Each structure stands twice: as C-alpha cells, then as structure tokens.
Structure 1
Amino acid sequence: MTQDQHLQAEAPMTFRAWVAVFGAILGAFMAVLDIQITNASIKEITGGLGATIEEASWISTAYLVAEIVIIPISGWLTRMLSLRTYLTWTSSLFLFFSVCCALSWNLESMIVFRALQGLTGGALIPLAFQVILSLPPSKRTVGLALFSVTATFAPAIGPTVGGYLTQAFHWSVVFYMNLIPGAFLMFAIIYGIDKEKKNLDLLKQLDIWGILSMAIGLSSLTIFLEEGEREDWFSSNFILVLALTSLVFLISFVWIELKTKNPFINLRLLVRKNFGFGCLVNFVVGLAMYGALYLLPLYLSSIQSYNSVDIGKTMMWAGLPQLFIIPFVPKLLKRFDARVLAFVGINIFAFSCYMNSHLTSLVGYDQLMWSQIVRAMGQPLLMIPLSTITTGLIEKSQAGSASGLFNMLRNLGGSVGIAVLSTLMSVREKFHSAKLVEGVTIYSHETVERLAMYKKLFIAKGFDVATASDKALAALDVTIRKQAHVMSFNDCFLFVCGALIASSLLLLLCDKVQSPTGPSDAH
C-alpha cells in the first residue's frame, strides 16, 4: 500500500477524537505539574502542617514513589478495564485526593494523600501517551507535539505557578487548582472516548509476582535515591536495606517478566534497537531535565537569596518560548530525519547546561534568562523526534507496554539525576573548599588585603579592633564556602552537559523511522 493509499484508508479524526486527545494531554500535564508545583511552596506547607523542611521531603517522595509504580501497570489496567473506564476512575480519584491534600491537617495525612494522588495521577501520563500512539499515523506527530508540552513545559513552569499561588493566596490553592482543568478532563473522557468492553478475564492471568516485585523494587529504589543524600548514603542502615531490597526485587521483576507466559509489561521491547536506545536517551533526558530543575532553583535560593516568585520568574524562560517553537516541529519532521532533529535538540539542551557551568556569585536573572531560552529552543526539537524514533516501529498492541516503559524511565532518570547531582555537589563543594583554603595563608597578599578590607568595614560599623578581626576571619570563611558552593554548581552543570552529549551518540545508531505523518509498517 502506498503512502497516499494508506492516508486515504485512515479513519478521519473527528471532533470527539480531538477532544479526547486534548483531555488526555491535559491530564498528563496536571500530573507532571504536580511533581514540581509543591517544591516552591514547601516552606509554607511545612509551616502550616507544623513539620520541618527535612520531614517535608516525604511530601514529594511519596508522590514520586506512587507515580513511578503505577506508570508501568497502567497498560495492563487499561487492557482489563478499558481506556475510558480506567481514565474516568483514575482522574476522578486524582481530583479527590488533590482536595484531600489541600485539607491535610498534619504531615502524616499529607504524605498519605500525596501518595494516593501520585498513584492516581501518575497513570494519566502513560495513558495520554497511549492515546497518542493509537492516533492515525498522519496525526501522531501533532499528538506527540502536544504531549511534549507535558514533558518539558509543565516541569518548567511548576515552580512559577506554585510560587505565585502560594504568595498571592495560600499553599492549599496549589492543590485546589486541579479542579478547574479537572472538570474539562472529566468531560473530555466521557464525551470523547468510546465505551469498550472490559476484559476482566485478565484477572485470571494476573501477573501478581511480577507486579509485586516491580512495585517493591521501584518504590525502594525511588526512596533510596530521594533520601540517600540526606541520610549520608550507606552509612545509614535504612538506606542500605533500601538498596539491597531494590536490587533483589528489580532483578526478580526482570526474571519473572521474561519467564512468565503472560507478563503485565513486555520488557522484550527494550532489546529492539530503536526502542532500547530511545529509552536510554529518555532516561538521560529525565536526568538532565529534572536535574536542571533541581540545580537552578537551589542556586538562586542559596546563592542569590531569591524567593519562590523570583525563582519562578527566572525558570519560566525555560518554558514559555517552547509554546512558540513546538507548533513548528511537526513541519520540520516532514523535511528532516527525526534522528538529526533529536541530535540537534539534545545538543542545544547540552549547550544551555554548558552556559550555566560558568556561574559566579553575581549571576542572576538577567544572565540566566539566556541559557533558559536556549534550553527552551532545544527541548522541543528533542522530545518530539525522540518519541518518534523510540515508538515509531512499535505495534499498536504493544502501545501500553511501550508507553509505560518510556515514561517510567524518564521519571526514573529524574530521580537518579537529582540523587547523583546532590551527591556530586556535596563532594565537589568539599573539594573546592579544601583547595581554596590551601591558598588562604598569612603569606598571601590577596588574603591579607581581603582581611584588611573586612576589618575596616567592621570597625566602621562600631566594632572594636579585636572583634573586627574575628568577624573579618568569619566573613572570609563565608566567602570561601560560598565560592566553593558556586564552583560545585558549575561542576554539576558540566556533568549534565557531558551526559547529554554522550547520550546523543545513541541517536545516530538508531534506524531511520518514517515520520508519523506517513505510514509505518509496524502499524
């Protein structure tokens, strides 16, 4: 069948179908946004719940653990319950638990409700991707372009939205805001998605050991990655147990899924060249994307003393320009090889990280805006072609497994990235601090001059000579530590840059995939 004959044979996209697509993408957008949106409001949330900042880390961890566990299971649940039924239930429960989060009365209740919110909202991400993979080939690129908004734009504006709502109203509004788009989401599901017969017979073939081993392994790994740095890694028995548990159960999960007759997720897709390499690149993209979202706000708050609103204003430049670039990517895919576009996009993203690897204690909004704009130019060129390369040769019957694996690995990459970067920052800060201290001696002309300057400033403020000398030494110590901290940020951005460049080579090893605007033999 020629391409023209294939396109003529496609069923036309109706208004109802487009409503379903927009609804599914809106659901995924809300789910991804909720990962980041609480981070900018964490001080206000902990204050309202009477918890410490350290304890509040579980507010985000609970959501991430539940989300990463439900993503791989969503394909199997969809086959059993039907897409419409599962989307209806998981969306309505996501909205219900969002309200419960807003009404939380203490830290424990918030953690429980955040876990349940992640368990229901996390399913919205792979389900939206599955809806797009089920579109006619000529419309799939448009769907992937819309989905990329959830993957890159939502995390970028999360701190902005969360910070603004918290400053203007109250931290609970961060959760209540889900109700407005949630109303359209429910309408889109009911109106746009056809009823299908449930396949409850799948319960008889329930891969219970595969699901349990996956759930225990992934949840242990996520907690290990999220809490490892705070617990000083393997010096903590808690972290050591988590590491061993995740290792044993994830190995068991892989073995069970490869041996069982009816696995709930098809891991064999990963041995296909395009899908395997694409998922590896997606893992690194998750590391870089969520890693950058971790590093920049931390730099702005700790070095520049920005509040949540100022941080949001800086970060929004990584998001807003994407809205103007994304519509052009499907047209570019018609003219250029997806591998070339993805290669260019990922290296533009890498260059933006390189731009951020030259921070000083004076770099702020004006300078960072440009690196954020460069990042916003690269991510759309990467995400849409990457999805095309990875899933372009996947059969429609495997859409659930492909969606679950692809999205799970990006989220897992984010958790790994934050854990690696937080540890790298700590190690490199100690290294730079030690190196800087080596050069600070009474025989150093620069040291003597700096101490004299500080001493004069403190004497001018009314301190006696002895006190001024002590304060000058303390001020010099603060300066050294601050400089070491900035240098550790630079090292982290260089690491992210290198990881992106290295992973870009995998894209060149993939087979050429015809743009979804044309037919795919796998479909």
Structure 2
Amino acid sequence: MSEAQTDDARQWKPAHNPWAIAVVVTLAAFMEILDTTIVNVALPHIAGSLSSSNDEATWALTSYLVANGIVLTISGWLAAVIGRKRYFLICIAMFTVCSFLCGIATSLPQLVAFRLLQGFFGGGMQPSQQSIILDTFPPSKRSAAFGVTAIATIVAPVLGPTLGGYITDTLNWRWIFFINLPVGVIAVIFVFILVEDPPWQKRISRHVDFIGLFLITLGLGALQVTLDRGEDEDWFGSRFIQITAVLAVVGIFGAIGWLLTAKKPVVSLEVFKDRNFTMGCVCIAATGAVLYAGAVVIPQFTQTLIGYNATWSGLILSPGGVAIIVLIPVVTQLMRFVQTRILIAAGFVIMGAAFVYSSQLTLDIDFRTLVIMRSAQTAGLAFLFVPISTIAYTTLPRELNGDATALFVMFRNVFGSIGIAIASSMIIQRLQVHQSYLSQWATPFHQPYNELVARYERALVAMGHSASSAHDVAVGKVYQVFQAQAAVLGYSDVFLLAGAVAFAVAPLCFLLSGVKGGGGGASVH
C-alpha cells in the first residue's frame, strides 16, 4: 500500500452513522445467536411431528453446532476472499432462506440437512459483525459499541428457550424458523445500504489453504459432535464417541501445527502474539463456559425437580437479561475511570460469588429466589463481555481484525459447548456420588429414616390406604425424596464448580494491559 493510500486508510470513516451500522449488524447476529437455543425446547414437538425419536431429533441441534463451529474459525478467510460486506450479506440472506427451508421440512433428514446449511451460513455472522464494529468505531468508542453487541450475545441465549417455548405452545414449532424471515429481509436491506468495506479490507486476498481447511473442519466438527452427543451416547463408553474424540484431537492439534508452519494459512495464529488478545480469549472462553452452563442448569433443575413448564423455566432467565441491559451502560461509563482489567477481575469475582450463592438450592425454593440467583450471575456478565471484547483488540493491528474476531467468537462458542457438556455430565455423576453417600442413612437401622417412613404411613392411612399397603407406598415416597435430595446436591455441585472457575480466572485478568476506556488512547495500526 502506497503512502497516499495509507493516509487515505487512516482518514477513512464510514459514510453512514456508525450507531446505525452497529444496530443493523447486531440485529443480524442476534437472529443467529437466538437460533442456537430457540430450538431446544421444541425438540419433542419436532420429533413427534416428523415421526422420529427424541434422540434422533437432537441431530437438528448437533448439525447446526457442527457447521457453525467450523465456519466460525475460517470466517475471516472467507470474508477476505469474498469481501467482508458481500460475505456478510450472503450469510444473512442464505441463513434466512435456510430458516424458511427448516420451517417447511417434511422429514427429519431434510431438517438436519437444512440446519447444517443454516449453521454454515450463520457461523460467519458473529465474527463479521464484530469485525465491522471494530473498523466502524475508533478505539475510544468501541466499548460503547460493544455494549450493543453484548445485549445481543448475552440476551439472545436467555430469550431463546422462553420464546421457543411460547411459540411452540401457542403456534407451531415451524414458526421458530419462520420468525427469522422478516428480520433477515430487513437486515439484508439495511446492511446493503449502510455497511461498506474499509480500504484495507478491500485489498486483502488469499489462496485456498486446503490442508488447513480440512484439519479445522475435522477437528472442530468432531469436537462439536463429541460434546453434543457425548451425554446421550454414554461418553467414552461409546465407540462412536471414542472415534469422534480421537478425530477431534488429531484435527485440532494437526491444525495448530499446520497453521503455525504454513506460509499462507487459512487462519493466522499471529494474533496470539498479542498478549491482550490471548488473555482476552482466555477470559471470553471462561465467560462462555459459565454463561451457557448456568443458562442450561437452572431450566433443567426447575423442570425436572420442581415441575415448572418450559415457559416458566425460561421466565427465570429473563430478568437476568434485563439486568444486563441496565448494567452495561454503567459498566461502559466505569471503563472511562477504572482500569479495564480491574473491571474484568471484578466481574469474575461477582460471578463466582453469585454461583456460590446459587449453590444453596433446595426442593422448596421459590420462583423469586431463583430469579435473584440467575440475575446475580448475569450481573457479573455485565462486567465481563464489553470490557473483554474491547481490550482484546486494543493493541492488535487492524489488518488482523478478521482472523481475530473469528477466533475470539470461536473460543466463546466452543467453550460454551464445553461448559454445557461438563455441566450435563456432572449433574448425573454427582447425583450418583450423593446417592452412594446418602444411602448409608436410608436403612431401617437409622432412626430418622424409620420416623420419616412412619410419618408417610400415618398420612397414607389417613387418606384411606390400607395398613398393609401403606408401608410399601411410604417406602417408595421416601425413596423419591431421597432421589430428589441427591439430585439437588448434584446441581449445587455444578454451581460450585462454575464459581471456582470464575474465581480462578480473576487473578489472570491482571496479565492484561492496565488501560482505561478499553485502551482508547492506545495506538491501533
């Protein structure tokens, strides 16, 4: 690039209002993130409608996650080859078309194929959105712009199950896909009008790195299948999961080795030479893991043990989304006066304390307490997403923004999947541990156990049961209570682990640069 072209690049500004651009690109990303969770609650309805089992219907989720995870990493390369604006428009348009195809699917194989395509095109939307915001706003205003992004990234997974449950119960599962159509059309029109590629983006071109593409596809695809199907397939007791796990390890480590040595890799790992970006990825990975794990555990607890339906379980999460919207502007203002790394460390401490508080679960817990628990967890997220997203790119050359945003979002999503997998597996494993521990007290040789059985017997006799049958029914009732108590302790252990992870990451935040305002005064080349 000549000196005159360099000066033009430095002086470049978007032709349209940056905030209008931020809202439009975030609208598209919000639609895509919503689709990662909105399908979950509709799976039983999908299975029944398409004459398949619940286990088979789960592939509608797995196929989306596999394609999404693969494309996240290579989206920077695709945007460089095709042109970022053109690539973003293709992603939005085809995601919308695939949503329509999912809605009219008449068989499960059709739905899985269309979800695979939907995930492929949806995977490029989040990195492109972040990359556009990075280039649209100067460093001093990025924290406020990422506040808009945070609302979509954090609120969408929270809103998904609630909205999905409501639409499925009142309309039809097909409408969880059809609602994307008007949003997608609006996003395509306004992105076409408002968004433009900056000078440095237009001049990027790369050859096709087939080996890198193959290894990334193999590694991340197999990893997503392992994480999503592991619990259903009994993890490493299944030959299928053993194979996918081996392929994931071979693909991921092979890709890292190749990308570090290739002359023109499909993704540049040079971004990890920047300490702020590397630590930002560590922080966002931990944030994604606890965010998604917490969002899954509470609805599962309320539906399996307390008897809430999908809508009420989702409503527990909704006030947390409101808390995020209220707190993000406050955190954005604090970033002007407080070092960003201190705010991030504070966010992890708040989140850790919230998860420890959330571990105090009981069978008779009320709706209000559950809402407070989840709201406390999301309060910590308000101190994390915007500061992490801002400082991660502070000292990174803007020519690497495409690769950086792709890898950054990939870390958040992949570790989100890991968090969900660990939480789901741990609930079952810890339930069995607590069952083993509690069983020593559930014997006729333990007087409190005998008293509890006797109390149930008296209640059953008073209700009209015969004395001969009351004892057996009473023992069954006590066993149900025993099972439920063990399960509650298992859920509590998951929250304690999430709290421990948050506390462990907090000291690492001080490896980030000691800047304020997300590094607004830092030089970004």
TM-score, L = length of structure 2: 0.94
Counterpart mapping for 1:230-245 below 5 A: 230-245=232-247
Secondary structure at the counterpart of residue 371 of structure 2:
helix
Indicate yes or no: 2:299 matched with 1:297: yes
What residue is the counterpart of 1:335 in the other structure? 337
Cα–Cα, structure 1 residues 146 and 10, in superposed 2: closer, same or farther, change >3 Å?
A: farther
Q: Using the TM superposition, name which of 347-356 and 496-505 deviates more.
A: 347-356
Counterpart mapping for 1:78-227 below 5 A: 78-134=79-135, 135-194=137-196, 202=205, 205-227=207-229
**Aligned residues: percent identity?**
28
Q: Equivalents in 2 of 1:515, 1:195: separation in Å?
A: 26
Secondary structure at the counterpart of residue 358 of structure 1:
coil
Q: Equivalents in 1 of 2:252, 2:338: separation in Å?
A: 39
Cα–Cα, structure 1 residues 224 and 175, in superposed 2: closer, same or farther, change >3 Å?
A: same
- Structure 2: 5+ residue runs without aligned partners? 1-6
Counterpart mapping for 1:111-510 below 5 A: 111-134=112-135, 135-194=137-196, 202=205, 205-510=207-512
Q: Equivalents in 2 of 1:136, 1:200: separation in Å?
A: 21
Q: What one-letter code is carried by the residue in structure 2 that aligns with 1:73?
A: I
Contact kept, 8 Å, 1:16 with 1:193, in 2: the verdict is: no
Contact kept, 8 Å, 1:334 with 1:517, in 2: the verdict is: no
Cα deviation, residue 45, structure 1? 2.1
Cα deviation, residue 26, structure 1? 1.0
Q: Which runs of 4+ in 1 moved over 4 A?
A: 9-14, 195-203
Cα deviation, residue 273, structure 1? 2.0
Q: Equivalents in 2 of 1:385, 1:449: separation in Å?
A: 55
Contact kept, 8 Å, 2:317 with 2:375, in 1: the verdict is: no
Secondary structure at the counterpart of residue 391 of structure 1:
coil
Cα deviation, residue 270, structure 1? 2.2
Contact kept, 8 Å, 1:234 with 1:240, in 2: the verdict is: yes
Secondary structure at the counterpart of residue 36 of structure 2:
helix
Contact kept, 8 Å, 1:389 with 1:512, in 2: the verdict is: no
Q: Equivalents in 1 of 2:401, 2:87: separation in Å?
A: 16
Cα deviation, residue 201, structure 1? 9.2
Q: Equivalents in 1 of 2:129, 2:205: separation in Å?
A: 22
Contact kept, 8 Å, 2:22 with 2:148, in 1: the verdict is: no
Contact kept, 8 Å, 2:328 with 2:382, in 1: the verdict is: yes
Q: Using the TM superposition, name which of 138-147 and 279-288 deviates more.
A: 138-147
Q: Using the TM superposition, name which of 491-500 and 186-195 deviates more.
A: 186-195
Q: Equivalents in 1 of 2:506, 2:198: separation in Å?
A: 41
What residue is the counterpart of 1:3 in the other structure? none
Q: What one-letter code is carried by the residue in structure 2 that aligns with 1:469?
A: H
What residue is the counterpart of 2:29 in the other structure? 28
Cα deviation, residue 466, structure 1? 2.7
Q: Equivalents in 1 of 2:152, 2:382: separation in Å?
A: 11
Taking only aligned residues, the RMSD between alpha carbons, in angstroms, comes to 2.0
Q: Equivalents in 1 of 2:519, 2:330: separation in Å?
A: 14
Q: Equivalents in 2 of 1:137, 1:170: separation in Å?
A: 45
Q: Equivalents in 2 of 1:42, 1:476: separation in Å?
A: 33
Cα–Cα, structure 1 residues 199 and 495, in superposed 2: closer, same or farther, change >3 Å?
A: same
Q: Equivalents in 1 of 2:197, 2:381: separation in Å?
A: 36
Contact kept, 8 Å, 1:36 with 1:155, in 2: the verdict is: yes
Q: What one-letter code is carried by the residue in structure 2 that aligns with 1:297?
A: P
Q: Equivalents in 2 of 1:202, 1:508: separation in Å?
A: 37
Cα deviation, residue 459, structure 1? 2.6
Q: Using the TM superposition, name which of 483-492 and 22-31 deviates more.
A: 22-31
Contact kept, 8 Å, 2:22 with 2:145, in 1: the verdict is: yes
What residue is the counterpart of 1:76 in the other structure? 77
Cα–Cα, structure 1 residues 233 and 49, in superposed 2: closer, same or farther, change >3 Å?
A: same
Please give the per-residue CA displacement for 1:306-338, whole angstroms capped at 9, x wherever unaligned.
111111111101111211222232221111111
